[in-house]
Amino acid sequence: MLAIGNNRSGVSRWISLALAIVVFLMSLTLWAGFDASIAAMQFVENTPWISYFNINYHIGVDGISMPLIILTTFSTVIVIIAGWEVIKNRVAEYMAAFLIMEGVIIGVFSSLDAILFYVFWEASLIPMLLIVGIWGGQNRVYAAIKFFLYTFLGSVFMLVSLIYMYNQGGSFSLAALNTLPLSLTEQSWIFWAFFLAFAVKVPMFPVHTWLPDAHVQAPTGGSVILAAIMLKMGGYGFFRLSLPITPDASSEFATIVIALSLIAIVYIGFVALVQKDMKKLIAYSSISHMGFVTLGLFALFSIVEMNSDGQIVGALEGAYLGLEGAMIQMISHGFISAAMFLVVGVLYDRLHSREISTYGGVINSMPKFTGFAVLFSLANAGLPGTSGFVGEFMVILGSLQANFWFAFLAAMTLIIGAAYTLWMVKRVFWGPVTNSDISSLSDINARELFILATLAFAVLLLGIYPQPLVEVMHLSIVNLLEQALTTKLPVPL
Amino acid sequence: MMDYQFNIADLCFAVPELFLLGAISVILLLDLFVSERFQNLTYYLTLATLAVTGYFAVGLIGESRVIFDGTFVLDSVASTFKVFIVGFSVVAMIYSRYYLRVHNLLKGEYFVLVLLSVLGMMVMASAHSLLTVYLGLEIMSLSLYTMIAIARDRAVAVEAALKYFVLGAIASGLLLYGMSMIYGVTGNLNIAEIASFAMISSLTSEQILILNFGLVFLVIGVAFKFGAVPFHMWIPDVYHGAPTSVTMFLSTVPKIAATAMLVRLLIDGLGEFQAYWADLFMVLAILSIAVGAVVALMQTNIKRMLAYSTISHVGFVLLGFVTGAVEGYGAAAFYVLAYVLMSLAAFGCIIALNKKGFEADKISDFKGLSKGSPWFALIMLVVMLSMAGVPPFIGFYSKLFILQQVVSAGYIYLAIAAVIFAVISAYYYLQIIKAMYFDDLQKDLKVSASMDIRLVLSINGILIFVVGLMPSYWMELAISLF
């Protein structure tokens, strides 16, 4: 891609679009060939990579990672189309950065070797750093460097704990780490090291402060990838590493994580309410929605537990609801936040302002666009029938079995979320036309219509008929739940 | 010393050094008689000399013996280090010539001095007696002092040379003092004999005390050559003052020689005292990593910034020796070689930007490079991220290797401190990326260097990436050295 250079931007656009679509179709074959009746990893490739450390190029997918990979390839196609005319500066490099990013993130979701995972995990920072730094807004340098250092600091501790476990068990393979016996003290240290890495990425309260900056400064495509996929890497990390490797510590500290998730859901929701900048508002709403993911994950320890005979006691259904709700929430948030950022992007391209107060009465000049914008906003607020509802509802139902108050506070978001999203919609789209710029706005063109319509279709499909997704992941979730509940501590005699 | 054995057949195991010495004499004489018109002749002869020396050195890989009455050793460390010393010197020469030409410093003496210092480093790599260590060290250092002063009309360069010379002489003195104590206890200069004498179990407590004293001075000498905190004071000023091509040479190849010196004196000689010197190195290592990371944040001159970055990297190298395990030493050797590769590329990028009257030594001088020369900006980006330890570049694997060894030796707190400072140091590497990519997008800055440096720099950059993708072979090589 870099070889094409910046002079022939048309060529690079088409090539990258073609590549992105091919990769997307290839990832669909993963879905088609996926066997939902087994919990084990599928499409496994395993070749020695660094033999001295026993590191292997070991990749494969299961029901948890496969939907996320498809989300990644889908979002890349969307982003490339979204950047079609908007990016005029250094087009080839822009497209190349997104394609590299796509490859690296697929790597994160399919690695079955901890070092391979770490390498992809860190490598994903590089294209994002450049995307925010080169094509970002006014304050892009600050945002890019803050983003990089924040996430870098979060993940180095993960590296140290991975090395520690390698020295204990002699392997970096995730399967081996999952069965590595660790004392509660060791698990606690490792849990917090992982927590730091993943919580920064999710991001959870109180390590979320990089996100609004990065989102606001990033170009639309960057925000979409950041919200739709990079945040999911954090959630995925909890699924893939924290729960199976440190089950006892996860159970030990679940209450803290749940508390932080609830703070994120409620407090950040209120923070979103007072934002003047649309992108910032959506960024805070992302944090609030991602709180559901961590809540659904860690609520399971309050719902079920394994007694001393190795029997699982408690309402298993509730735990499934929580975990699957968390997964669906990740996928659905991928679509919705992508759509919301694109909506802001569309407005920004026209008036170069993200301030809510600049707008008003947009519906008068952009009726089609407003239709989509309102649909996505309702989905963001969790309207039944959209994908936003399914995930949140499942998590709330699941946590209801853990503790009434968890569910109560989580359900508050349906009110707060509706408040900040709909209030924004009211101020931006309805009401009288505030200035002459608004009345001269042109409605969305075919390209914008296409991407918004695709996303709207995905949001509605997932909202009305989420069953196929649930089926695909169900066995992997069962498997994960078993690992998360199997204690690694020596059985007391 | 009466029964001095000299076997003429032994000479063939020192062929690289002997050839280099002969060639140096020839080039030195020749340089007197070549006119200005043929000044490139010295350069090409130098490259040819290095190539032949490298060829001989490669031929000796796998040999293992001690010759010249126990003063000269050929083992896997010596032969492998020699090949890398020569190889990296070739790269440094190619980068240097462009710089020297642009700034009117192109003189035959420069190349002779480089060759002499390479000779000194090769002697250090093969030293098997305290005397040979010192001899190699002084051949190397004296040539380096003079190389810095080659820009004799620049006040900063002369100041840097003098500073380096004075401090270097003090360090040499301390080293000699330590050697004399060790000689006093063991009665021997031969490193193998010292090792067999200095068994802790068979020594009296007074002997151990004096050996420990000597050991401290040896450690100081080694730390000075590495530039580890608190013996780092010369590094920023010398790096800053010296002509960039000398800075590049100074910051790269001599670090391999310093590693060799450490291996000879402390591992081969006083390996029995590992627990004593490892404690010293632990302090030096963590201080170096910390100071290198924190002080570099304030620099606006890229040479000074890279000076502090070197200090930080040296800290990681020393961490490898703290572990006291064969794999730890291997990790340190791997780190040194990876560091030299990255540092060469970093200085190569700076030199490639040089123009008449433009030194490109400020961070802000890199503004707009991504616009004018995207390929070289990309190389610099890779180098900076690699130095920061971001995967998938070689710098990450060298840090991974060291950290793995440190954790496995039980120093998990050292590892945690090291990664925290690695994150801090990422900030200043990002400053370069910021200047190249994020700032001033209207300005075009083009690389003006000639074709040879472009080619070598590209290969250098690609190697940082490719070895990063497939580090397995090099890691095993590094471990097999010890």
Average pLDDT over residues A2-6: 41
pLDDT > 90? residue B88:
yes
CB nearest to B391's CB, from A48, A119, A157 = A119
Average pLDDT over residues B262-283: 89
CB contact under 8 A, A148 and B403: no
Judged by CB atoms within 8 Å, which residues 399-438 of B form the interface with A?
A: 400, 403-404, 407-408, 412, 415-416, 419-420, 422-423, 426-427, 430, 433-434, 437-438
Condensed to tens digits (0 to 9), the pLDDT of residues B323-367 reads 888 888 999 999 999 999 999 999 999 888 888 878 888 888 888
pLDDT-derived band at A306, boundaries 50, 70, 90:
low
The dihedral built from the CA positions of residue B6, B11, B14 and B17, taken in this order, carries a sign that is positive
Do B118 and B85 contact (CB within 8 A), yes or no? yes
CB contact under 8 A, B391 and A118: yes
- Residue with the two structure tokens 């990425």: A201
Give the C-alpha separation, A132 to A152, whole Å.
16
pLDDT > 60? residue A267:
yes
Percent composition of chain A: helix, strand, coil (DSSP 3-state, to 5): 75, 5, 20
Token digits for A357?
């107060």
**B2 vs A102 pLDDT, higher one:** A102
Average pLDDT over residues A29-56: 71
Q: What number of residues does chain B have? A: 482
Do A124 and A233 contact (CB within 8 A), yes or no? yes
Give the C-alpha separation, B434 to B427, whole Å.
10
pLDDT > 60? residue A493:
no
Chain A residue with CA closest to B472: the answer is A50
Token digits for A352?
């170069």
Taking CB atoms and an 8 Å cutoff, what residues of chain A touch B426?
148-149, 152
CB contact under 8 A, A122 and B476: no
H or E element: which one contains A296? helix A278-303
C-alpha atoms less than 13 angstroms from C-alpha of B444 in its C-beta half-sphere: 4
Residue-averaged pLDDT of chain A: 79
Which range is least confidently modeled, A301-305, A384-388, A422-426, A452-456?
Answer: A301-305
pLDDT > 70? residue A385:
yes
Chain-centre distance of CA B244, in angstroms? 15
CB contact under 8 A, B437 and A133: yes
Give the C-alpha separation, A214 to A280, whole Å.
10
Tell me the C-alpha to C-alpha distance, in Å, between residue A42 and each of A74, A235, B360.
Answer: 21, 21, 53
pLDDT-derived band at A2, boundaries 50, 70, 90:
very low
Q: What is the CA radius of gyration of chain B?
A: 22
Exposed/middle/buried for residue B32 (C-beta within 10 Å: 0-12, 13-18, 19+) = exposed
For β-strands A55-61 and A304-306, DSSP reports them as unpaired
pLDDT at B42: 85
pLDDT at B440: 65
Give the C-alpha separation, A340 to A357, whole Å.
18
**B134 vs A38 pLDDT, higher one:** B134
Give the C-alpha separation, A276 to B260, whole Å.
62
- Residue with the two structure tokens 């490898």: B320
Give the C-alpha separation, A210 to A208, whole Å.
6
User: Rounded to a whole number, what is the largest CA-CA distance in chain B?
Assistant: 75
Do B303 and B247 contact (CB within 8 A), yes or no? yes
- What residues does A55 pair with on adjacent strands? A50
Give the C-alpha separation, B321 to B314, whole Å.
11
Taking CB atoms and an 8 Å cutoff, what residues of chain A touch B471?
50
Give the C-alpha separation, A302 to B280, whole Å.
50
Do B436 and B309 contact (CB within 8 A), yes or no? no
Do A334 and A226 contact (CB within 8 A), yes or no? no
pLDDT at B377: 86
Token digits for A123?
């490598």
pLDDT-derived band at B452, boundaries 50, 70, 90:
confident
Give the CA angle between residues A84, A353, A419 to the nearest 5°.
105
Residues B157-164: contacts with CB within 8 Å, 24+ apart? B157/B241, B157/B242, B157/B243, B159/B237, B159/B241, B160/B237, B160/B238, B160/B240, B160/B241, B160/B242, B161/B241, B161/B242, B163/B234, B163/B237, B163/B238, B163/B241, B164/B234, B164/B238
pLDDT at A9: 58
CB contact under 8 A, A159 and B472: no
pLDDT at A5: 41
**% of chain B beyond a pLDDT of 70:** 97
Do B475 and B334 contact (CB within 8 A), yes or no? yes
CB contact under 8 A, B433 and A153: no
Q: Which residues contact B2 (CB under 8 A, 6 or more apart)?
A: none
CB nearest to B422's CB, from A140, A156, A164 = A156
Cis before residue B392, ω within 30 degrees of 0? yes
pLDDT at A6: 43
pLDDT-derived band at A3, boundaries 50, 70, 90:
very low
In A339-387, at which residue ranges do the beta strands (DSSP E only) sit? none
In A23-173, at which residue ranges do the beta strands (DSSP E only) sit? 42-50, 55-61
Q: How far is A152 from chain B (nearest CA, A)?
A: 7
Do A136 and A214 contact (CB within 8 A), yes or no? no
Q: Which residues contact B36 (CB under 8 A, 6 or more apart)?
A: none
Judged by CB atoms within 8 Å, which residues 122-181 of A form the interface with B?
A: 122-123, 125-126, 129-130, 133-134, 140-141, 144-145, 148-149, 152-153, 156-157, 159-160, 163-164, 166-167
The dihedral built from the CA positions of residue A353, A355, A358 and A361, taken in this order, carries a sign that is positive
Do A339 and A299 contact (CB within 8 A), yes or no? no
Q: Which residues contact A17 (CB under 8 A, 6 or more apart)?
A: A77, A80, A81
pLDDT at A8: 54
pLDDT > 60? residue A415:
yes
**% of chain A beyond a pLDDT of 70:** 91
Give the C-alpha separation, B250 to B114, whole Å.
10
Number of neighbouring beta carbons within 10 Å of residue A380? 29
CB contact under 8 A, A166 and B438: no
Condensed to tens digits (0 to 9), the pLDDT of residues B111-133 reads 899 999 999 999 999 999 999 99
- Residue with the two structure tokens 């990371």: B293
Give the C-alpha separation, A348 to A245, whole Å.
44
Condensed to tens digits (0 to 9), the pLDDT of residues A399-412 reads 887 778 888 888 88
Q: What ipTM did this prediction achieve? A: 0.86
Do A155 and A233 contact (CB within 8 A), yes or no? no
- Residue with the two structure tokens 């910390």: B290
Token digits for A422?
């709909």
Chain B residue with CA closest to A121: the answer is B391
CB contact under 8 A, B472 and A49: yes
**A1 vs B369 pLDDT, higher one:** B369
The dihedral built from the CA positions of residue A116, A149, A81 and A457, taken in this order, carries a sign that is positive
pLDDT at B408: 87
pLDDT > 90? residue A54:
no
Average pLDDT over residues A336-341: 86
Q: What residues does each domain of chain B span?
A: 8-480
pLDDT at B41: 84
CB nearest to A126's CB, from B390, B420, B434 = B390
Please name the amino acid found at residue A226.
Answer: L
User: Rounded to a whole number, what is the largest CA-CA distance in chain A?
Assistant: 79
Condensed to tens digits (0 to 9), the pLDDT of residues A82-117 reads 777 777 677 777 777 888 888 888 888 888 888 888
Per-residue H/E/C for A118-130? HHHHHHCHHHHHH
Condensed to tens digits (0 to 9), the pLDDT of residues B66-79 reads 888 888 888 888 88
CB nearest to B472's CB, from A52, A89, A157 = A52
pLDDT at B311: 93
Could you give the 3-state DSSP secondary structure of residue A304? strand
The dihedral built from the CA positions of residue A365, A370, A372 and A373, taken in this order, carries a sign that is positive
Q: Is A49 on the interface with B (CB under 8 A)?
A: yes
